[in-house]
Amino acid sequence: MSGARRGPGRPRRHVEEEVEPKVDPGANLWVQMLQQQQAMYRQ
């Protein structure tokens, strides 16, 4: 187990966190809002 953790360089928890928001509709909406704000600031 330790060897596997040392290989990638980052804990498996990080991968789970990345997949969680994609599945969560609420998180997706939050990301969309953030993207919209960024786009507005860009313009």
Q: What is the pLDDT of residues 11-35, one digit of tens each?
A: 566 555 555 555 667 777 888 888 9
Predicted pLDDT at 5:
53
Q: Give domain limits for the chain.
A: 2-42
Per the listing, tokens 């953790």 go with 5
More confident: 5 or 26: 26
Predicted pLDDT at 32:
87
Q: How far apart are CA 31 and CA 2, in angstroms?
A: 34
More confident: 37 or 15: 37
**What predicted TM-score, i.e. pTM, was given to this entire model?**
0.35
Residues 13/6, Cβ–Cβ less than 8 Å: no
Predicted pLDDT at 30:
84
Q: Which residues of 18-31 are buried (b: 16+ CB within 10 A; e: fewer)?
A: eeeeeeeeeeeeee
